Structure 1
Amino acid sequence: MGRVATTEDYVGPLVFLASDASAFITGQILHVDGGWTIKGDFPSMADYSFETDRRRG
């Protein structure tokens, strides 16, 4: 996805895991990271603006 996750990015997976739809899922790791794990190339945080995230809420 090429961006840092927002709070909204986690809502769908959390609702799914809390629902009966996930009742038969056991022992899995759900990577909710926009593809960074599979790509294996994590973005540099050197120039990341945490202040922008704070303002965004």
Structure 2
Amino acid sequence: MTTELADNVRKYRRRAGMSQEELAHAAGVSPGAVRKAEQGGPSAWMPCTRLPVR
């Protein structure tokens, strides 16, 4: 996952007023997956097509 994508996941989650845990629940993934996605490391995995859009 690129740094730009990781930054966007964090930015839009915060803009929506959601915690990592709330986003994880809404997206059907673990909170750890959200944390890894926001860290942007090469092992980060996030089914971005399942992220809630507000």
TM over 0.5: no
Structure showing greater Rg? 1
What TM-score do you get using the length of structure 1 for normalisation?
Answer: 0.31
